[in-house]
Amino acid sequence: MKRGWERSKPLIIPDHSTVSSLLQPFLKGKEVLKLEMLSGGLSNSNVKITLVTGECYVLRIYNGEIMKGQVERKVLQLVEDTVPVPEVLYSDFSLSTYEYPVILLSWIHGDQLSEMFDKKEEEKLIQAAHETGRHLAAIHTFQFSSPGFFDEELNVHPLDLSGAESFIHMLEKIITDKPFLQNSGTEMAEDISRLARNHAHLLDHTGNHTSLVHSDFNPLNILIKEATDGIQVTGILDWEFAFSHSPLIDIGNMLRYEDVHQSSFIKPFISSYLKHGGKLPQNWLQQAKLLDMVALCDLANKENCGQVRLLDTQRLIRKTLNEWEVYAGIQAHL
């Protein structure tokens, strides 16, 4: 799962004095003991801050993109009573004290769900799947006036990409772009175009397009812990790409790496999602995979993509192309 992917933007490493000065309105004289750069995240930088008192926080530094920080802050505040997310404790988007916009978040204990996938502990993974499906259904209960991207107050700037025609137009624009063709070649572009044109009609009947979509909902951004009553999700992280659209986008992202031939995760994840109020159309898996194809192709449409990231993205694209017919059988039995 994104192992070894190259960062899209440089890591930002602040020093003690900068952090102390920047967060003085929140710290109120409390002393910073140590800073620790956190792994994960390919564009923003995350710093664990430990105070001499033992309190811990996460400083999230946005690489020059103020709007993403403002959107993330507002979304976290919107969902905090419904979904396990870090609390926003302080923010500074003025750039007057520090050259980057920042938010300060509460520290959440837990391990990445991706680690449980690596360990292949089936019973625990099934429990985690149930919990993940439950929380994703809760996320999708938040509704907006139209599909589109958020401004800093979560007002929606309409952008309707639903339906076959819009899907084909967007995908063709990406796969005929120079960086994509240089990175992946015309043969892959033609294979993707063929799949899209043959099956885009499925996207004419996807249902709701005005849900809150996390847009980066995957095991790296989900924290879990083992409790006496089973696996619990303790935190869902990294909301800067959130927008209003189809819940199928999050479904596709979550199942991007799943081995559909022998997955112990898909059935309990989807069953729990439906049990807790999530809605899925008849051809949900193929529809989700089509929508995720746009995201994958966009990842490969960068001039400086990074070799590891590019190879992994191309593998995922081929996976979708090769498994397409299998998806029909899976969605029919869930």
Rounded to an integer, the average pLDDT of 37-45 is 85
pLDDT in tens, 149-178: 999 999 999 887 778 999 999 999 999 999
Rounded to an integer, the average pLDDT of 300-317 is 94
pLDDT value for 120: 79
Distances in Å between the Cα of 88 and the Cα atoms of 70, 97, 100, 138, 234 are 11, 19, 17, 20, 16
pLDDT at 121 over 90: no
User: Is the domain defined by 16-106 classed in CATH 3.30.200.20?
Assistant: yes
H-helix or E-strand spanning residue 211: strand 211-213
pLDDT value for 41: 75
pLDDT value for 51: 97
Cβ–Cβ < 8 Å for 253, 216: yes
pLDDT value for 39: 83
Fold entry, domain 111-332: Aminoglycoside 3'-phosphotransferase; Chain: A, domain 2 (3.90.1200)
DSSP string, 260-310: TTS-SSHHHHHHHHHHTT----TTHHHHHHHHHHHHHHHHT--TT--HHHH
pLDDT category at 62 given cuts 50, 70, 90 is: very high
Domain ranges of the chain: 16-106, 111-332
pLDDT in tens, 238-283: 999 999 999 999 999 999 999 988 899 999 999 999 999 999 999 9
Q: What percent of the chain has pLDDT over 70?
A: 100
pLDDT category at 6 given cuts 50, 70, 90 is: confident
Q: Do the two domains 16-106 and 111-332 of this chain adopt the same fold?
A: no
pLDDT at 105 over 80: yes
Mean pLDDT computed over every residue of the chain: 94
Residue 332 CB partners (closer than 8 Å, separation 6+):
none
Cβ–Cβ < 8 Å for 89, 107: no
pLDDT value for 235: 98
Both tokens of residue 138? 């809760």
Q: What does pTM read for this prediction?
A: 0.95
pLDDT value for 156: 96
DSSP string, 72-127: HHHHHHHHTTTS--PPEEEEE-S-SSSSS-EEEEE----EEHHHHHHHT-HHHHHH
Question: For the sheet containing 230-236, what is the strand order?
Answer: 111-112, 222-227, 230-236
pLDDT value for 296: 97
CA 232 vs. chain centroid, Å, equals 19
Rounded to an integer, the average pLDDT of 65-75 is 95
pLDDT at 1 over 80: no
- Map residue 115 onto helix, strand or coil: helix
Residue 260 CB partners (closer than 8 Å, separation 6+):
266, 323, 326, 327, 330
pLDDT value for 175: 98
